[in-house]
Amino acid sequence: MFWQEEQEEVTKKKEAGDEDKSLTWADTKRMPLTLRVIQETMRVASILSFTFREAVEDVEYEGESASSLPPCFLYAPENFSDPEKFDPSRFEASPKPNTFLPFGNGTHACPGNELAKLEMLVFLHHLTTKYR
């Protein structure tokens, strides 16, 4: 089974006899593996397409060039080693600045990003602890 070891690790951490115990805010803060799986999922299978300002043709200005090719920084080897591989452990350390922006950045960042991450965390927790 894909990621069976990780699922077993999450299940082992769940306290024995607490099958019906509600997930608490404190519990969500102790789920780094699940959060890394969410981050890696958003990196490899983002449903959003960013609206980048991009060149419609190759341009060079003062020694700098802008390519008309679409940006694919989530799969760039200089940003993520072995980018085609699904590897949640890559998020044990923070990625390089401005290379992982699943909810945008700055004033145009998604205002619901923390809620969305929490919803994904709760969903994955219940999926991995209640189903095989």
Tens of pLDDT, residue by residue, the chain (132 residues) = 456 776 676 667 665 555 667 888 998 998 898 999 999 999 988 766 555 555 567 777 787 776 655 556 778 888 899 998 999 999 999 998 888 888 888 888 899 999 999 999 999 988 888 877
Residue 98 in 3-state DSSP?
coil
Q: Residue 110 annotated as binding?
A: yes
pLDDT of residue 21: 73
d(CA 36, CA 73): 19
pLDDT score for 97: 86
Cα distance between residue 1 and residue 49, in whole Å: 31
| Contacting residues for 43 by C-beta, under 8 A, at least 6 apart | 74, 80, 100, 102
**Runs of H (alpha helix) within the chain:** 4-13, 25-28, 32-44, 113-130
- Determine the pLDDT at residue 112: 95
Calculate ∠ Cα 48-38-11, nearest 5°. 155
Candidates 32, 39, 38; CA nearest to 13 is: 32
